[in-house]
Structure formats: structure tokens, C-alpha cells
Structure 1
Amino acid sequence: MSSTTKPTDFDRGYAQVLATRLRRIPTLAWVAAAVGGFIGSVPLGLMMQYGNPEPLIALALPMMYGFSGPDLLAGWAIHQFHGVALAVMYVAAAQWQPVTGHAKTLRGAVALAVVVGVVSTALFSVLLMPLWLGAIGYPFTPTVPDLAMPEKLWSVFGHVIYALPATLGYALVTRR
């Protein structure tokens, strides 16, 4: 490469480009999404605790991390941690070029909350949790894939409600 040409994203490698983009995100954007994820996890957790016949918060989540259960406090702590971690992952994913502009607008944030709700239900509730729960011997393990209706529609709704504070928090801090 000559000194007169500018390095392209391909030349520098995708990992370097992503690392550069992530470093450019204002700290307040990370914090807003994380706080939003924590806040959004509360109604989702309440839906899980009171809307499911099996004890997901009190038993499934603690068992997934090696705690004996039921343990409602441990379940809620794990659930809230998941909410913050997923919100931070959302901020990283929002740096993907096709999404970046939408993530910085309120309308785009609402649309992305729906996407996050659908994708997180598909990945976690339908696929990952049934596999993980089966591996640890959870007594109420669903089949894989877990497509039980209307529970999965309820899960999508809950995950959209969860995602709204995270996506809106990020958008409010970074909007154009």
C-alpha cells in the first residue's frame, strides 16, 4: 500500500474497525443502554415470574448458574444481569452500518426494540434456554425448539417491552 492511499476497512480488518467504532461510542450511550436494560428487565421478569406456570425466575435461572433453588433473589440478580449484558450487546450491534442510523432515531429505536424482542425470543427462549435447561436437569425443561403457543408470543411481547428502554435510552443520547 502506498502512502498516498487511505487504508480501507477491509485492509485494516473487521475486528480493528469494530474496536475503533466501539471506542468512539460515548460513555453516556453505554450507560443509557445499560440502565435501560436494567429497567426493561423488571417488567419482563415480572411477566416471567407471574405469567409462566413454571418457576423460571426462582428455579430455572439459578439452576443455569449452578445455584440450588428455588432462590428468588439469585434468579432476579441473574435476570437483571442478563438485561444489562444484552443492552450492552445491543450498543455494540448498533454499530453495524445498516443499523447505526436507525438506532440513533426514536422511530428507529422503537423498530429495533421489536427486532430485539423477536430475535432474543428466537435465540434465547426458543433455542438456547431449552438446551441449557435440559443439560442441567431442570425439571420443567421444554422441548427443543420450544415453540409452545401462546407462551412464545407472550415472550416476544415481554422482550419488546424489555428492549424499549435500552434502545430508546441509546437513541436519546446519540440521536441526530
Structure 2
Amino acid sequence: MATITDTTDDTGVRSGNWRAGVLGGIGGALVMGALVLAMNPPTLAVAIPSLYGLAPPPNPGLGMVVHVSHGAVLGVVFAALVGAAAVEEPVRIVGLGIAWGVATWIGLAALLMPLWLGAVGSPASPPFPNFAPPSLLWHVVYGAVLGAVYVATEGV
């Protein structure tokens, strides 16, 4: 006669909801992309697609596809951060989203993007570093929407 014993171990490690991260990242990137188009179209039409040799000529649609793809991937990283930090309160998740938006602005938009665009010879290469205030606004909005959509969809 065999005895089966089920055991579960709580390792204390939590994982975020990657699906909510993807949805939040897509939502945040779409809203941010709309702001970029309204405030500085060449950023979306030339700079972002230039990262991958897809511009010039200017192509805002392709820039939006690249941008939303980046937003989705960064949303998954955000979900991992939410899980690792064991953040459960909705207000704190949205706050973490805003902080994540600021972190992506510093690390990716202000520091990495100018170097990358310079390396590929983009005509849209900004100076290094590029701590542009409108870009900070765009990334804060990305993070706020990311956090809000994450909260709204994490139970799905």
C-alpha cells in the first residue's frame, strides 16, 4: 500500500502577474506614444525606429509598433519588480509604476538611447546625456498608466 504525501513549500518568493505587466506596458506605451506624437512627432517617427535601422524616412506607425513592443517588455520587468517587492496595495503599485517610469527615463531614454542612436548614425541622435523634461513627463505618464492597468488586470 502506497502513501502519497503532498507538500508545498512557501519559499517567500513572489512573482508578479506578467500578463498584467504586458497589458499595463502596452496601455502605458500607447498613451505615452500619443503624447509623444502630440508634443514631438520626430521622436516617434525617426528616433525610435532608427534604433533598429527602420528610419529614415520618418515612419510614425512603425515607431509606435517598436515603442509599444518596448513598453510591453518593460511591463513584464515591472511585474517582476512588483512580485519581488511583494507590493499588493493598489496605490503603492501605481506609485511603483511612476517610479519605474522615472527609472526608464533615466536609464533608457536619457542615457542609453542617445548612445545607441549615435552608434547607428541616426539623424535624430540627441546629445548625451539627454535629460529632456518632456521625456520625463512622457515616462511618468507611461508608469502611471502601467501601474493603473496592472492593478485593474492583475486578477485576470
1:73 corresponds to which residue?
61
Quote the RMSD (CA, aligned, Å): 2.4
Structure 1, unmatched stretches of 5+, are: 1-8, 10-16
CA distance in 2, matches of 1:31, 1:140: 33
The CA deviation at 1:158 is 1.5
% identity of equivalent residues: 31
Distance in structure 1 (CA, Å) of the matches to 2:63 and 2:150: 26
Letter in structure 1 aligned against 2:120: I
- Out of 153, 171, 174, which is 2:133 matched to? 153
Distance in 2 of aligned mates of 1:174 and 1:105 = 12
Q: 2:128 aligns with which of 135, 144, 149?
A: 144
Q: CA deviation at 1:47?
A: 2.0
Shift of 1:172: 4.1
| Alignment of 1:111 onto 2:95 | yes
- Structure 2 residue corresponding to 1:122, chosen from 83, 97, 106: 106
Provide structure 2 residue ranges, at least 5 long, that are not aligned to the other structure.
1-10
* Offset, 1:81: 0.5
> Aligned pair count?
145
Q: State the TM-score, normalized to the length of structure 2.
A: 0.80
The structure richer in helix per residue is 1
Hey, which bits of structure 1, 4+ residues long, moved more than 2 A? Answer: 168-175
Indicate how the Cα distance of structure 1 residues 34 and 143 shifts in structure 2: closer, same or farther if over 3 A, else same.
same
**Partner Cα separation in structure 2 for residue 108 and residue 50 of structure 1:** 29
Q: Could you say which residue in structure 1 is the equivalent of 2:4? A: none
When residues 95 and 68 of structure 1 are mapped into structure 2, their CA distance, relative to the original with a 3 A threshold, is same
Q: Is the 8 A contact 1:44 1:162 kept in 2?
A: yes
Letter in 2 for 1:160: V
Deviations 1:66-107 (A, max 9, x none): 2232222211110110111110110112232xx323xx2111
CA offsets per residue over residues 31-57 of structure 1, 9 Å max, x none? Answer: 2221121111122112222312x6111
Question: Could you tell me the TM-score, scaled by structure 1's length?
Answer: 0.72
